[in-house]
Structure 1
Amino acid sequence: MSFNWIDKSQYTLDSFLLMDRWLIRMIINTSNNWPEYAENLSLALASKPYVAWYCSKKAPEIKEKVEQLVLSAPLNATNEQIKKAEEFIVEATETSIIYTDPINMNRNCNYIYNWKEERLLELVDFKDKIVLDIGSGTGRLAFAAAKLARKVYASEPTDMLREYMKDKIKNEGISNVVVVDGTVEHIPYEDNTFDIVMSAHVVGDYYDAEIAEMERVAKNNGYILDCIGDDDRIREKPDEEMLKRGFEYLYHKSTLGGDIYRYRKQVMK
Protein backbone atom coordinates (compact mmCIF):
# COMPACT_ATOMS: atom_id res chain seq x y z
CA MET A 1 0.00 0.00 0.00
CA SER A 2 1.39 3.38 -1.01
CA PHE A 3 0.56 6.51 0.97
CA ASN A 4 2.26 8.87 -1.51
CA TRP A 5 4.09 10.61 1.31
CA ILE A 6 7.24 10.98 -0.78
CA ASP A 7 8.08 11.75 -4.38
CA LYS A 8 9.76 8.43 -5.03
CA SER A 9 11.83 9.84 -7.89
CA GLN A 10 13.63 12.10 -5.40
CA TYR A 11 14.84 9.35 -3.05
CA THR A 12 17.31 6.47 -3.29
CA LEU A 13 18.57 3.69 -1.07
CA ASP A 14 20.98 6.27 0.35
CA SER A 15 18.12 7.36 2.62
CA PHE A 16 18.96 4.31 4.72
CA LEU A 17 22.14 6.13 5.77
CA LEU A 18 19.98 8.54 7.79
CA MET A 19 18.04 5.84 9.59
CA ASP A 20 18.22 4.62 13.17
CA ARG A 21 18.92 1.10 14.33
CA TRP A 22 15.27 0.17 14.90
CA LEU A 23 14.26 1.27 11.39
CA ILE A 24 17.14 -0.58 9.73
CA ARG A 25 16.28 -3.71 11.70
CA MET A 26 12.62 -3.50 10.67
CA ILE A 27 13.44 -2.92 7.00
CA ILE A 28 15.84 -5.84 6.78
CA ASN A 29 13.60 -8.22 8.73
CA THR A 30 10.66 -7.45 6.44
CA SER A 31 12.44 -9.61 3.87
CA ASN A 32 11.77 -12.70 5.99
CA ASN A 33 8.14 -12.99 4.90
CA TRP A 34 7.97 -11.14 1.59
CA PRO A 35 9.85 -12.94 -1.22
CA GLU A 36 9.45 -10.19 -3.83
CA TYR A 37 10.71 -7.62 -1.35
CA ALA A 38 13.67 -9.83 -0.41
CA GLU A 39 14.60 -10.30 -4.05
CA ASN A 40 14.62 -6.57 -4.77
CA LEU A 41 16.31 -5.68 -1.48
CA SER A 42 19.13 -8.13 -2.16
CA LEU A 43 19.87 -6.57 -5.55
CA ALA A 44 19.56 -3.01 -4.25
CA LEU A 45 21.94 -3.68 -1.34
CA ALA A 46 24.41 -5.55 -3.54
CA SER A 47 24.52 -2.59 -5.92
CA LYS A 48 25.33 -0.20 -3.05
CA PRO A 49 27.79 -1.99 -0.75
CA TYR A 50 28.28 1.12 1.40
CA VAL A 51 24.57 1.01 2.32
CA ALA A 52 24.83 -2.68 3.15
CA TRP A 53 27.90 -1.88 5.28
CA TYR A 54 26.03 0.86 7.12
CA CYS A 55 23.06 -1.42 7.84
CA SER A 56 25.37 -4.10 9.26
CA LYS A 57 27.20 -1.61 11.45
CA LYS A 58 24.14 0.32 12.59
CA ALA A 59 22.19 -2.83 13.49
CA PRO A 60 24.73 -5.62 14.09
CA GLU A 61 21.97 -8.01 15.09
CA ILE A 62 20.94 -8.23 11.42
CA LYS A 63 24.48 -8.29 9.99
CA GLU A 64 24.21 -11.95 8.99
CA LYS A 65 20.88 -11.32 7.29
CA VAL A 66 22.33 -8.42 5.31
CA GLU A 67 25.23 -10.59 4.17
CA GLN A 68 22.81 -13.32 3.10
CA LEU A 69 20.77 -10.84 1.09
CA VAL A 70 23.83 -9.48 -0.69
CA LEU A 71 25.10 -12.96 -1.51
CA SER A 72 21.72 -13.98 -2.90
CA ALA A 73 21.63 -11.08 -5.39
CA PRO A 74 21.69 -12.20 -9.01
CA LEU A 75 25.01 -11.84 -10.80
CA ASN A 76 25.35 -9.76 -13.95
CA ALA A 77 22.18 -7.74 -13.26
CA THR A 78 21.62 -4.94 -15.76
CA ASN A 79 21.52 -1.29 -14.78
CA GLU A 80 17.81 -1.29 -15.54
CA GLN A 81 17.20 -4.23 -13.21
CA ILE A 82 19.18 -2.53 -10.45
CA LYS A 83 17.24 0.72 -10.95
CA LYS A 84 13.89 -1.07 -10.75
CA ALA A 85 14.96 -2.95 -7.62
CA GLU A 86 15.93 0.28 -5.90
CA GLU A 87 12.67 1.94 -6.93
CA PHE A 88 10.73 -1.02 -5.56
CA ILE A 89 12.46 -0.78 -2.17
CA VAL A 90 12.06 3.00 -1.97
CA GLU A 91 8.33 2.64 -2.57
CA ALA A 92 8.03 -0.27 -0.13
CA THR A 93 9.81 1.64 2.64
CA GLU A 94 8.30 5.10 2.13
CA THR A 95 6.81 5.14 5.64
CA SER A 96 10.35 4.74 7.00
CA ILE A 97 12.07 7.04 4.51
CA ILE A 98 9.71 9.90 5.39
CA TYR A 99 11.16 9.88 8.92
CA THR A 100 14.47 11.00 7.45
CA ASP A 101 12.85 14.09 5.93
CA PRO A 102 10.83 15.90 8.63
CA ILE A 103 10.04 18.98 6.53
CA ASN A 104 8.43 16.89 3.82
CA MET A 105 6.80 14.74 6.49
CA ASN A 106 4.93 17.82 7.71
CA ARG A 107 4.05 18.83 4.17
CA ASN A 108 3.02 15.47 2.76
CA CYS A 109 1.53 13.35 5.55
CA ASN A 110 -2.18 14.07 5.53
CA TYR A 111 -2.63 13.13 9.18
CA ILE A 112 -0.26 15.99 10.05
CA TYR A 113 -1.03 18.85 7.67
CA ASN A 114 -4.80 18.31 7.83
CA TRP A 115 -4.97 18.17 11.62
CA LYS A 116 -6.25 20.86 13.99
CA GLU A 117 -4.81 21.14 17.49
CA GLU A 118 -8.29 21.60 18.96
CA ARG A 119 -8.81 17.88 18.39
CA LEU A 120 -6.27 17.25 21.14
CA LEU A 121 -6.95 20.13 23.49
CA GLU A 122 -10.65 19.31 23.83
CA LEU A 123 -9.91 15.83 25.20
CA VAL A 124 -8.68 16.95 28.64
CA ASP A 125 -7.56 20.06 30.48
CA PHE A 126 -3.87 20.60 29.70
CA LYS A 127 -3.45 23.77 31.76
CA ASP A 128 -0.36 23.59 33.98
CA LYS A 129 -0.01 19.82 33.44
CA ILE A 130 3.12 17.70 33.07
CA VAL A 131 2.73 15.84 29.78
CA LEU A 132 4.49 13.01 27.96
CA ASP A 133 4.06 12.60 24.20
CA ILE A 134 5.15 9.16 22.99
CA GLY A 135 6.27 8.72 19.39
CA SER A 136 6.23 12.48 19.00
CA GLY A 137 7.35 12.55 15.36
CA THR A 138 7.64 16.17 14.25
CA GLY A 139 5.85 17.26 17.43
CA ARG A 140 2.25 17.66 16.27
CA LEU A 141 0.78 16.81 19.67
CA ALA A 142 3.68 18.02 21.81
CA PHE A 143 3.72 21.59 20.53
CA ALA A 144 -0.07 21.87 20.68
CA ALA A 145 -0.09 20.73 24.32
CA ALA A 146 2.80 23.06 25.17
CA LYS A 147 0.57 26.10 24.63
CA LEU A 148 -1.22 25.21 27.87
CA ALA A 149 0.91 22.68 29.74
CA ARG A 150 3.58 23.46 32.29
CA LYS A 151 6.04 21.01 30.68
CA VAL A 152 5.90 18.59 27.74
CA TYR A 153 8.35 15.75 27.21
CA ALA A 154 8.45 14.67 23.56
CA SER A 155 9.70 11.08 23.35
CA GLU A 156 10.81 10.00 19.88
CA PRO A 157 13.09 7.08 18.84
CA THR A 158 14.08 8.62 15.48
CA ASP A 159 17.11 10.89 15.52
CA MET A 160 16.17 13.01 12.51
CA LEU A 161 12.78 13.79 14.06
CA ARG A 162 14.30 14.58 17.45
CA GLU A 163 16.70 17.02 15.80
CA TYR A 164 13.84 18.63 13.89
CA MET A 165 11.94 19.24 17.14
CA LYS A 166 15.05 20.58 18.85
CA ASP A 167 15.57 23.03 15.99
CA LYS A 168 11.95 24.17 16.23
CA ILE A 169 12.32 24.70 19.98
CA LYS A 170 15.46 26.79 19.47
CA ASN A 171 14.18 28.78 16.49
CA GLU A 172 10.82 29.59 18.08
CA GLY A 173 12.06 30.12 21.62
CA ILE A 174 9.88 27.39 23.12
CA SER A 175 10.84 26.94 26.76
CA ASN A 176 8.58 24.15 28.02
CA VAL A 177 9.24 21.26 25.59
CA VAL A 178 12.02 18.72 26.21
CA VAL A 179 12.94 16.20 23.50
CA VAL A 180 14.06 12.73 24.61
CA ASP A 181 14.74 9.31 23.11
CA GLY A 182 12.36 6.47 23.94
CA THR A 183 9.67 4.08 22.75
CA VAL A 184 6.24 3.12 24.03
CA GLU A 185 7.60 -0.28 25.11
CA HIS A 186 10.36 1.32 27.22
CA ILE A 187 9.39 4.74 28.52
CA PRO A 188 12.47 6.28 30.17
CA TYR A 189 10.70 7.70 33.23
CA GLU A 190 9.78 6.61 36.73
CA ASP A 191 6.33 5.51 37.87
CA ASN A 192 3.64 8.13 38.48
CA THR A 193 5.44 10.97 36.70
CA PHE A 194 2.92 12.52 34.30
CA ASP A 195 -0.52 14.09 34.49
CA ILE A 196 -1.16 13.22 30.85
CA VAL A 197 0.44 10.52 28.68
CA MET A 198 -0.50 10.83 25.02
CA SER A 199 0.32 9.27 21.68
CA ALA A 200 -0.94 8.95 18.12
CA HIS A 201 -0.43 6.15 15.60
CA VAL A 202 1.65 4.31 18.22
CA VAL A 203 -0.57 1.96 20.23
CA GLY A 204 -1.79 -1.17 18.48
CA ASP A 205 0.98 -3.70 18.03
CA TYR A 206 0.98 -4.98 21.61
CA TYR A 207 -1.95 -3.35 23.36
CA ASP A 208 -1.46 -4.81 26.83
CA ALA A 209 2.26 -4.08 27.08
CA GLU A 210 2.00 -0.62 25.51
CA ILE A 211 -0.92 0.56 27.61
CA ALA A 212 0.56 -0.94 30.78
CA GLU A 213 3.75 1.07 30.24
CA MET A 214 1.76 4.25 29.65
CA GLU A 215 -0.28 3.63 32.79
CA ARG A 216 2.90 2.99 34.76
CA VAL A 217 4.26 6.49 34.19
CA ALA A 218 0.89 8.21 34.54
CA LYS A 219 -0.15 9.63 37.89
CA ASN A 220 -3.21 8.42 39.74
CA ASN A 221 -6.24 10.20 38.23
CA GLY A 222 -4.09 11.18 35.26
CA TYR A 223 -5.10 10.54 31.65
CA ILE A 224 -3.92 8.43 28.74
CA LEU A 225 -4.83 9.82 25.31
CA ASP A 226 -4.65 8.39 21.81
CA CYS A 227 -5.21 11.17 19.30
CA ILE A 228 -4.61 10.21 15.68
CA GLY A 229 -4.46 12.78 12.92
CA ASP A 230 -7.15 13.61 10.39
CA ASP A 231 -6.48 11.21 7.56
CA ASP A 232 -8.72 9.81 4.80
CA ARG A 233 -9.08 6.28 6.15
CA ILE A 234 -12.58 4.83 6.44
CA ARG A 235 -13.08 3.23 9.85
CA GLU A 236 -16.43 1.54 10.39
CA LYS A 237 -16.21 1.51 14.18
CA PRO A 238 -13.90 2.36 17.07
CA ASP A 239 -11.04 0.08 18.03
CA GLU A 240 -12.58 -2.69 20.10
CA GLU A 241 -9.25 -3.46 21.73
CA MET A 242 -9.13 0.07 23.12
CA LEU A 243 -12.69 -0.17 24.38
CA LYS A 244 -11.95 -3.50 26.07
CA ARG A 245 -9.21 -1.78 28.03
CA GLY A 246 -11.46 0.92 29.41
CA PHE A 247 -11.02 3.74 26.92
CA GLU A 248 -13.87 5.99 25.85
CA TYR A 249 -13.88 7.55 22.41
CA LEU A 250 -14.79 10.74 20.60
CA TYR A 251 -15.63 10.63 16.89
CA HIS A 252 -15.49 13.14 14.08
CA LYS A 253 -15.33 13.06 10.28
CA SER A 254 -12.17 14.56 8.86
CA THR A 255 -12.28 17.02 5.99
CA LEU A 256 -10.58 14.33 3.91
CA GLY A 257 -13.46 11.94 4.57
CA GLY A 258 -11.76 9.75 7.15
CA ASP A 259 -13.49 8.39 10.25
CA ILE A 260 -11.46 9.63 13.20
CA TYR A 261 -11.73 8.07 16.64
CA ARG A 262 -9.84 9.63 19.53
CA TYR A 263 -9.50 7.81 22.84
CA ARG A 264 -9.00 8.75 26.47
CA LYS A 265 -8.84 6.89 29.75
CA GLN A 266 -8.47 8.13 33.29
CA VAL A 267 -5.92 6.13 35.22
CA MET A 268 -7.08 4.88 38.63
CA LYS A 269 -4.38 3.37 40.83
Structure 2
Amino acid sequence: MNYNWIKPEEFSFNSFLLMDRWIIRMMCENHLSDKDFSKNLAIALEYNPAVKWYFFHKCPESRDFLERLTADVPKDLSLQAIRKAEVFVIGEMETSIVYVYPELMNKNCDYIYDWNKNLLFELADFNDKVVLDIGSGTGRLAFAAAEKAKRVYASEPTDALREYLRDKIKVENILNVVVLDGTVEKIPYEDNTFDIVMSGHVVGDNYDAEIAELTRVVKNGGYIIDCIGEDNRKRKPNEELLKRGFEAFYHVSKSGGDIYRYRKKVIK
Protein backbone atom coordinates (compact mmCIF):
# COMPACT_ATOMS: atom_id res chain seq x y z
CA MET A 1 0.00 0.00 0.00
CA ASN A 2 1.26 3.47 -0.91
CA TYR A 3 0.71 6.10 1.77
CA ASN A 4 2.24 9.07 -0.12
CA TRP A 5 4.36 10.00 2.88
CA ILE A 6 7.31 10.88 0.65
CA LYS A 7 8.15 11.87 -2.92
CA PRO A 8 10.51 9.04 -3.92
CA GLU A 9 12.27 11.07 -6.59
CA GLU A 10 13.54 13.45 -3.89
CA PHE A 11 15.50 10.74 -2.07
CA SER A 12 18.92 9.27 -2.70
CA PHE A 13 19.29 5.51 -2.85
CA ASN A 14 22.00 6.04 -0.25
CA SER A 15 19.15 6.31 2.26
CA PHE A 16 19.37 2.53 2.42
CA LEU A 17 22.77 2.89 4.07
CA LEU A 18 20.81 3.93 7.17
CA MET A 19 18.65 0.80 7.23
CA ASP A 20 18.68 -1.77 10.01
CA ARG A 21 19.34 -5.45 9.54
CA TRP A 22 15.71 -6.39 10.09
CA ILE A 23 14.55 -4.07 7.31
CA ILE A 24 17.06 -5.50 4.83
CA ARG A 25 15.98 -9.00 5.81
CA MET A 26 12.34 -8.04 5.33
CA MET A 27 13.08 -6.64 1.87
CA CYS A 28 14.66 -9.92 0.83
CA GLU A 29 12.06 -12.20 2.42
CA ASN A 30 8.84 -10.32 1.69
CA HIS A 31 9.41 -9.39 -1.94
CA LEU A 32 10.64 -12.66 -3.43
CA SER A 33 7.42 -13.11 -5.39
CA ASP A 34 7.21 -9.50 -6.57
CA LYS A 35 8.94 -9.55 -9.94
CA ASP A 36 8.82 -5.78 -10.45
CA PHE A 37 10.35 -5.09 -7.05
CA SER A 38 13.01 -7.78 -7.45
CA LYS A 39 13.98 -6.50 -10.91
CA ASN A 40 14.30 -2.90 -9.79
CA LEU A 41 16.07 -3.78 -6.54
CA ALA A 42 18.60 -5.80 -8.52
CA ILE A 43 19.35 -2.86 -10.81
CA ALA A 44 19.53 -0.34 -7.97
CA LEU A 45 21.91 -2.49 -5.94
CA GLU A 46 24.16 -3.45 -8.84
CA TYR A 47 24.66 0.21 -9.76
CA ASN A 48 25.09 1.30 -6.14
CA PRO A 49 27.95 -0.94 -4.98
CA ALA A 50 28.32 0.84 -1.63
CA VAL A 51 24.70 0.00 -0.76
CA LYS A 52 25.13 -3.56 -2.01
CA TRP A 53 28.26 -3.96 0.12
CA TYR A 54 26.40 -2.55 3.12
CA PHE A 55 23.52 -5.02 2.64
CA PHE A 56 25.99 -7.93 2.44
CA HIS A 57 27.69 -6.96 5.69
CA LYS A 58 24.76 -5.56 7.67
CA CYS A 59 22.55 -8.54 6.83
CA PRO A 60 24.86 -11.45 5.89
CA GLU A 61 21.97 -13.92 5.73
CA SER A 62 20.73 -12.03 2.66
CA ARG A 63 24.00 -12.25 0.74
CA ASP A 64 23.32 -15.44 -1.27
CA PHE A 65 19.90 -14.18 -2.32
CA LEU A 66 21.23 -10.77 -3.33
CA GLU A 67 24.13 -12.25 -5.27
CA ARG A 68 21.69 -14.36 -7.27
CA LEU A 69 19.34 -11.42 -7.68
CA THR A 70 21.99 -9.11 -9.15
CA ALA A 71 23.90 -11.70 -11.20
CA ASP A 72 22.16 -11.00 -14.51
CA VAL A 73 21.73 -7.23 -14.33
CA PRO A 74 22.78 -5.63 -17.65
CA LYS A 75 26.07 -3.73 -17.45
CA ASP A 76 25.18 -0.94 -19.87
CA LEU A 77 22.01 0.63 -18.45
CA SER A 78 21.49 4.35 -18.84
CA LEU A 79 21.52 6.75 -15.94
CA GLN A 80 17.80 7.30 -16.52
CA ALA A 81 17.06 3.57 -16.28
CA ILE A 82 19.12 3.26 -13.11
CA ARG A 83 17.41 6.21 -11.47
CA LYS A 84 13.99 4.87 -12.47
CA ALA A 85 14.81 1.62 -10.68
CA GLU A 86 16.05 3.47 -7.59
CA VAL A 87 12.90 5.59 -7.39
CA PHE A 88 10.70 2.51 -7.76
CA VAL A 89 12.40 0.77 -4.82
CA ILE A 90 12.35 3.91 -2.68
CA GLY A 91 8.62 4.32 -3.33
CA GLU A 92 7.87 0.71 -2.47
CA MET A 93 9.85 1.03 0.76
CA GLU A 94 8.46 4.42 1.80
CA THR A 95 7.39 3.21 5.25
CA SER A 96 10.97 2.12 5.95
CA ILE A 97 12.47 5.27 4.42
CA VAL A 98 10.60 7.49 6.89
CA TYR A 99 11.92 5.38 9.77
CA VAL A 100 15.42 6.70 9.13
CA TYR A 101 14.22 10.31 8.87
CA PRO A 102 12.22 10.70 12.13
CA GLU A 103 11.51 14.42 11.74
CA LEU A 104 10.09 13.72 8.30
CA MET A 105 8.05 10.90 9.80
CA ASN A 106 6.48 13.29 12.31
CA LYS A 107 5.78 15.85 9.59
CA ASN A 108 4.40 13.60 6.86
CA CYS A 109 2.65 10.70 8.61
CA ASP A 110 -0.98 11.54 9.28
CA TYR A 111 -1.28 8.87 11.92
CA ILE A 112 1.17 10.92 14.02
CA TYR A 113 0.43 14.59 13.34
CA ASP A 114 -3.37 14.26 13.47
CA TRP A 115 -3.41 12.17 16.66
CA ASN A 116 -4.78 13.36 20.00
CA LYS A 117 -3.22 11.86 23.13
CA ASN A 118 -6.60 11.87 24.89
CA LEU A 119 -7.50 8.94 22.64
CA LEU A 120 -4.94 6.94 24.62
CA PHE A 121 -5.90 8.24 28.04
CA GLU A 122 -9.50 7.15 27.45
CA LEU A 123 -8.37 3.51 27.38
CA ALA A 124 -6.71 3.17 30.79
CA ASP A 125 -5.59 4.97 33.92
CA PHE A 126 -1.89 5.67 33.37
CA ASN A 127 -1.30 7.44 36.68
CA ASP A 128 1.77 6.02 38.45
CA LYS A 129 1.82 2.97 36.15
CA VAL A 130 4.81 1.13 34.67
CA VAL A 131 4.21 1.02 30.92
CA LEU A 132 5.79 -0.69 27.90
CA ASP A 133 5.35 0.79 24.42
CA ILE A 134 6.14 -1.71 21.64
CA GLY A 135 7.28 -0.28 18.30
CA SER A 136 7.56 3.17 19.79
CA GLY A 137 8.54 4.97 16.57
CA THR A 138 8.96 8.67 17.30
CA GLY A 139 7.20 8.22 20.64
CA ARG A 140 3.59 9.09 19.86
CA LEU A 141 2.29 6.80 22.59
CA ALA A 142 5.32 6.70 24.87
CA PHE A 143 5.66 10.43 25.47
CA ALA A 144 1.91 10.83 25.97
CA ALA A 145 1.89 8.06 28.57
CA ALA A 146 4.95 9.56 30.27
CA GLU A 147 2.90 12.60 31.27
CA LYS A 148 1.04 10.40 33.76
CA ALA A 149 2.97 7.15 34.19
CA LYS A 150 5.62 6.34 36.77
CA ARG A 151 7.92 5.01 34.04
CA VAL A 152 7.61 4.20 30.33
CA TYR A 153 9.83 1.77 28.45
CA ALA A 154 9.93 2.59 24.73
CA SER A 155 10.88 -0.48 22.70
CA GLU A 156 11.90 0.24 19.11
CA PRO A 157 13.86 -1.99 16.66
CA THR A 158 14.99 0.87 14.36
CA ASP A 159 18.25 2.50 15.39
CA ALA A 160 17.51 5.93 13.90
CA LEU A 161 14.23 6.07 15.81
CA ARG A 162 15.87 5.00 19.06
CA GLU A 163 18.40 7.79 18.69
CA TYR A 164 15.60 10.26 17.95
CA LEU A 165 13.80 9.18 21.13
CA ARG A 166 16.97 9.52 23.19
CA ASP A 167 17.69 12.97 21.76
CA LYS A 168 14.17 14.15 22.61
CA ILE A 169 14.47 12.77 26.13
CA LYS A 170 17.73 14.67 26.61
CA VAL A 171 16.58 17.96 25.07
CA GLU A 172 13.27 17.99 26.93
CA ASN A 173 14.73 16.55 30.16
CA ILE A 174 12.18 13.73 30.28
CA LEU A 175 13.13 11.66 33.31
CA ASN A 176 10.74 8.71 33.16
CA VAL A 177 11.22 7.27 29.65
CA VAL A 178 13.74 4.50 28.92
CA VAL A 179 14.57 3.54 25.31
CA LEU A 180 15.51 0.00 24.32
CA ASP A 181 15.77 -2.32 21.35
CA GLY A 182 13.14 -5.01 20.97
CA THR A 183 10.27 -6.37 18.92
CA VAL A 184 6.76 -7.59 19.67
CA GLU A 185 7.87 -11.17 18.94
CA LYS A 186 10.61 -11.11 21.58
CA ILE A 187 10.17 -8.61 24.40
CA PRO A 188 13.35 -8.32 26.52
CA TYR A 189 11.62 -8.31 29.91
CA GLU A 190 10.57 -10.81 32.55
CA ASP A 191 7.04 -12.12 32.98
CA ASN A 192 4.52 -9.89 34.77
CA THR A 193 6.59 -6.71 34.58
CA PHE A 194 4.19 -4.02 33.33
CA ASP A 195 0.85 -2.54 34.34
CA ILE A 196 0.11 -1.56 30.74
CA VAL A 197 1.57 -2.85 27.48
CA MET A 198 0.62 -0.79 24.44
CA SER A 199 1.34 -0.50 20.75
CA GLY A 200 -0.05 0.93 17.53
CA HIS A 201 0.42 -0.36 13.96
CA VAL A 202 2.45 -3.30 15.30
CA VAL A 203 0.25 -6.33 16.04
CA GLY A 204 -1.07 -8.27 13.06
CA ASP A 205 1.60 -10.46 11.46
CA ASN A 206 1.16 -13.35 13.90
CA TYR A 207 -1.66 -12.65 16.33
CA ASP A 208 -1.26 -15.72 18.52
CA ALA A 209 2.48 -15.34 19.06
CA GLU A 210 2.37 -11.55 19.43
CA ILE A 211 -0.51 -11.45 21.89
CA ALA A 212 1.02 -14.32 23.87
CA GLU A 213 4.21 -12.30 24.27
CA LEU A 214 2.33 -9.14 25.24
CA THR A 215 0.33 -11.15 27.75
CA ARG A 216 3.47 -12.70 29.19
CA VAL A 217 4.99 -9.38 30.25
CA VAL A 218 1.84 -7.68 31.55
CA LYS A 219 0.80 -8.11 35.17
CA ASN A 220 -2.35 -9.88 36.27
CA GLY A 221 -5.12 -7.31 36.03
CA GLY A 222 -3.11 -5.13 33.66
CA TYR A 223 -4.04 -3.97 30.17
CA ILE A 224 -2.93 -4.63 26.62
CA ILE A 225 -3.77 -1.66 24.41
CA ASP A 226 -3.68 -1.34 20.63
CA CYS A 227 -4.02 2.35 19.79
CA ILE A 228 -3.46 3.22 16.15
CA GLY A 229 -3.07 6.79 14.95
CA GLU A 230 -5.28 8.87 12.69
CA ASP A 231 -5.69 8.41 8.94
CA ASN A 232 -8.35 8.51 6.23
CA ARG A 233 -8.69 4.75 5.72
CA LYS A 234 -12.05 3.03 5.73
CA ARG A 235 -11.78 -0.09 7.87
CA LYS A 236 -13.85 -2.62 9.78
CA PRO A 237 -13.31 -3.92 13.32
CA ASN A 238 -10.39 -6.30 13.69
CA GLU A 239 -12.08 -9.65 14.14
CA GLU A 240 -8.82 -11.32 15.16
CA LEU A 241 -8.50 -9.03 18.16
CA LEU A 242 -12.18 -9.25 19.03
CA LYS A 243 -12.19 -13.03 19.12
CA ARG A 244 -9.18 -12.89 21.46
CA GLY A 245 -11.13 -10.90 24.01
CA PHE A 246 -10.32 -7.28 23.12
CA GLU A 247 -12.87 -4.48 23.44
CA ALA A 248 -13.14 -2.09 20.48
CA PHE A 249 -13.51 1.70 20.71
CA TYR A 250 -14.55 3.46 17.50
CA HIS A 251 -14.32 7.04 16.29
CA VAL A 252 -14.05 8.89 12.98
CA SER A 253 -10.75 10.68 12.36
CA LYS A 254 -10.44 14.31 11.26
CA SER A 255 -9.86 13.11 7.70
CA GLY A 256 -12.84 10.73 7.74
CA GLY A 257 -11.10 7.45 8.53
CA ASP A 258 -12.63 4.65 10.58
CA ILE A 259 -10.41 4.34 13.66
CA TYR A 260 -10.67 1.43 16.08
CA ARG A 261 -8.74 1.27 19.33
CA TYR A 262 -8.58 -1.93 21.33
CA ARG A 263 -8.15 -2.84 24.99
CA LYS A 264 -7.96 -6.11 26.88
CA LYS A 265 -7.76 -6.58 30.64
CA VAL A 266 -5.49 -9.54 31.34
CA ILE A 267 -6.56 -12.02 34.01
CA LYS A 268 -4.02 -14.74 34.74
Work out whether 1:6 is the aligned partner of 2:12.
no
| Moved beyond 3 Å, runs of 4+ | none
Match of 2:55?
Answer: 55
Q: Identify the residue that residue 208 of structure 1 maps to in structure 2.
A: 208
1:132 is matched with: 132
Counting matched residue pairs gives 268
Render the CA deviation track for 1:179-216: whole Å, top value 9, x for unaligned.
00000000000000000000000001100000000000
Q: Distance in 1 between matches of 2:108 and 2:40?
A: 26
Corresponding residue for residue 150 of structure 1: 150
The equivalent of 2:37 in structure 1 is 37
Counterpart residue type for residue 257 of structure 1: G
Partner AA of 2:220 in structure 1: N
Question: What SS does the aligned partner of 2:261 have?
Answer: strand
Counterpart CA distance in 2 for 1:82 and 1:108 is 27
Looking at structure 2, the residues matched to 246 and 177 of structure 1 have their Cα atoms a distance apart, in angstroms, of 29
TM-score, normalisation: structure 2: 0.98
The correspondence of residues 184-223 of structure 1 with structure 2, limited to 5 A, is 184-223=184-223
Which residue matches 1:267?
Answer: 266
Q: What is aligned with 1:97?
A: 97
- The residue that corresponds to 1:18 in the other structure is 18
2:163 aligned residue: 163
Which residues in structure 2 correspond to 1:240-255 (within 5 Å)? 240-255=239-254
**C-alpha deviation, 1:74, in angstroms:** 2.0
Q: Please list the CA deviations of residues 243-262 of structure 1 after superposition, one character each: whole Å capped at 9, or x if unmatched.
A: 00000011000001100000
Normalising to structure 1: TM-score of the pair? 0.98
Query: How far off its partner does 1:72 sit?
Result: 2.3
CA separation in 2, counterparts of 1:28 and 1:75? Answer: 22
Question: 2:7–2:91: 8 Å Cα contact kept in structure 1?
Answer: no
Q: Which amino acid aligns with 2:190?
A: E
Distance 2:2 2:214 in 1: 31
Assess if the C-alpha contact under 8 Å between 2:135 and 2:155 holds in 1: yes
Shift of 1:68: 1.3
| AA matched with 1:82 | I
8 Å CA contact retained: 2:8, 2:88? no
CA distance in 2, matches of 1:40, 1:168: 37
- Cα RMSD of the aligned pairs, angstroms, is 0.8
Cα distance in 2, alignment partners of residues 231 and 48 from structure 1: 35
Q: Secondary structure at the match of 1:33?
A: coil
Identity across matched positions, percent: 60
| Other structure's SS at 2:184 match | coil
